[in-house]
């Protein structure tokens, strides 16, 4: 059912975002060095994933295959290699400080490679694989804050590296899932980082900003300074929990609760909400005619406490990192961020400047926050794996990641 003919075109990028609610796939064509064009998008209801872990391989494989097939049909292309987003709920984010001695020669690329090798070995021993590693700064003896130490002298080199990892066994299961759908993993990408690449503008990444990606099953947070991701975390609360609250309190099926939330839900409170009525179908009322009625104000009294809980959890995580808590710029993205009044609500709870982020690089309706992760994966792949899309022979993911890691250590 899921067999496909492999494509040998090197100007095509396929991105896959596996969430708790939906599986999104986007296919893009590289136009030039700095531009891509979205040529196909597919979406399917997610099944078989819980808190970032595959709990039903067959169901997950089917959902992935359906989303990819839809994107392929729209793009009139067939893909084999695909870049896959890894959910924030299974990502570990830590700053590692490493130190190596130097001889009489200046710092060389080989010295930076030793740092990478050490990080890789340490993570592998802990049962984790490196998704991204970004040098935040270097030190040479008592010289601190160095961004690029190559060509400089010292007796010892110290590096402060932000490393994002995921459990090796979890990644193997994702690989097996994609393989069952006749797809090969080109590389894994941290979903929060992909969303950041798609929604933040250069000044926000440089001066210091916080991106909050509100998904169905979880909400992630990633921070950027000097164009580098510095911290990633998440809470296991998202739009699905709001839907479940509505369903439980109003005794309405989940499908109706989701529709009511999308049509009438709001993070804002208006005087007119008390006068606007909403009909709510009841569980078990298959024939209809037994609907209850609530006001929009009552609906929002269900939604807003859960939203406040999500932002308060994130705020507490920020407080534990004083240098991050000082950041005053927040960008909201993700499907659950599209409720009316969300920007003002987040501004009030977080006490920071907030704007809504769209998926840059996506066309038309797919520029919505729901496709931010796919847009970021495409941007990431086009930039960091450019050699794969220009060379005749495709480089293996492991070889590419080795070269990329050494480049990141030098950024």
322 located within any domain: no
- Together in a domain, 58 and 188: yes
Q: What is the DSSP annotation of 224-285?
A: EETTEEEEEEEES--HHHHHHHHHHHHT--HHHHHHHHHHH-BSS--GGGGG-EEEEPPTT-
Q: Which domain holds residue 105?
A: 92-167+405-410
Taking CB atoms within 8 Å and a gap of at least 24, the contacts of 291-300 are 292/250, 292/251, 294/250, 296/264, 296/266, 296/272, 297/269, 297/273, 299/246, 299/260, 299/261, 299/264, 299/265, 300/265, 300/266, 300/267, 300/268, 300/269, 300/273
Average pLDDT, the chain: 87
pLDDT at 409 over 50: no
204 located within any domain: no
CA dist 181 and 173 (Å) reads 13
Q: How confident is the model at residue 5 (pLDDT cuts 50, 70, 90)?
A: very low
Task: Please give the C-alpha separations between residue 83 and each of 39, 48, 77, 120, 397, in angstroms, as whole numbers.
Answer: 16, 20, 16, 21, 10
- Together in a domain, 55 and 183: yes
Q: What is the pTM of this model?
A: 0.86
Average pLDDT over residues 253-265: 94
SS3 382: helix
pLDDT reported for residue 33: 67
- Together in a domain, 32 and 51: yes
CATH number at residue 134: 3.30.1490.110
- Together in a domain, 56 and 177: yes
pLDDT tens column, 104-137: 889 998 888 888 888 888 898 999 999 999 989 9
346 located within any domain: no
Our count of domains for the chain comes to 2
- Together in a domain, 96 and 162: yes
Pairing state of beta strands 219-225 and 228-235?
Answer: antiparallel
pLDDT reported for residue 120: 86
The highest-confidence range among 101-110, 294-303, 319-328, by mean pLDDT, is 294-303
- Together in a domain, 59 and 103: no
Helix axes 191-199, 372-384, angle to 10 degrees: 90
84 located within any domain: yes
- Together in a domain, 179 and 66: yes
pLDDT at 193 over 90: yes
pLDDT tens column, 334-358: 988 999 999 999 999 999 999 999 8
- Together in a domain, 68 and 114: no
- Together in a domain, 81 and 178: yes
17 located within any domain: yes
How many residues would you count in the chain?
411
The highest-confidence range among 107-111, 168-172, 317-321, by mean pLDDT, is 168-172
- Together in a domain, 53 and 183: yes
- Together in a domain, 50 and 189: yes
pLDDT at 397 over 60: no
245 located within any domain: no
- Together in a domain, 48 and 77: yes
Of 174-188, 211-225, 366-380, which range is least confident?
366-380
64 located within any domain: yes
CA-closest candidate to residue 17, choices 337, 372, 362:
372
pLDDT at 144 over 80: yes
CATH number at residue 387: 3.30.420.40
43 located within any domain: yes
């Amino acid at each position: 059912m899921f067999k496909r003919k492999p494509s040998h075109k090197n100007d095509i990028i396929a991105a896959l975002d596996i969430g708790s609610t939906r599986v999104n796939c986007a296919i893009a064509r590289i136009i030039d060095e700095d531009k891509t064009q979205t040529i196909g998008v597919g979406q399917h209801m997610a099944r078989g994933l819980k808190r970032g872990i595959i709990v039903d391989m067959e169901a997950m494989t089917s959902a992935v295959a359906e989303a990819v097939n839809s994107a392929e049909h729209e793009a009139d292309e067939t893909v084999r290699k695909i870049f896959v987003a890894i959910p924030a709920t299974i990502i570990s984010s830590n700053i590692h400080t490493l130190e190596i001695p130097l001889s009489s020669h200046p710092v060389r690329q080989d010295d930076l490679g030793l740092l990478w090798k050490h990080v890789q070995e340490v993570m592998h021993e802990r049962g984790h694989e490196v998704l991204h590693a970004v040098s935040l700064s270097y030190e040479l003896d008592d010289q601190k804050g160095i961004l690029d130490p190559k060509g400089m002298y010292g007796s010892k080199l110290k590096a402060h590296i932000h490393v994002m990892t995921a459990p090796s066994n979890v990644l193997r299961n994702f690989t097996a899932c994609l393989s069952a759908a006749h797809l090969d993993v080109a590389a894994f990408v941290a979903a929060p980082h992909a969303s950041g690449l798609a929604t933040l503008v250069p000044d926000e990444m440089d001066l210091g900003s916080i991106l909050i990606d509100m998904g169905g099953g979880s909400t992630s947070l990633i921070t950027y300074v000097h164009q580098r991701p510095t911290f990633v975390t998440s809470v296991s609360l998202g739009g699905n929990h709001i839907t479940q609250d509505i369903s439980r309190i109003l005794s309405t099926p989940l499908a109706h609760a989701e529709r009511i939330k999308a049509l009438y839900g709001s993070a804002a409170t208006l005087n007119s909400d008390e006068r606007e009525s909403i009909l709510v179908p009841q569980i078990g009322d298959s024939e209809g005619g037994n609907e209850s009625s609530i006001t929009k104000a009552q609906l929002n009294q269900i939604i807003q406490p859960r939203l406040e809980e999500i932002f308060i959890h994130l705020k507490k995580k920020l407080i534990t990192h004083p240098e991050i808590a000082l950041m005053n710029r927040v960008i909201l993205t993700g499907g659950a961020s599209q409720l009316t009044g969300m920007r003002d609500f987040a501004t009030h709870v977080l006490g920071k400047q907030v704007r809504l982020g769209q998926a840059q690089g996506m066309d038309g309706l797919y520029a919505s926050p729901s496709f931010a992760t796919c847009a970021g994966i495409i941007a990431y792949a086009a930039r960091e794996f450019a050699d794969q899309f220009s060379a005749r022979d495709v480089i293996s993911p492991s070889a590419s990641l080795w070269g990329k890691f050494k480049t990141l250590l030098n950024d």
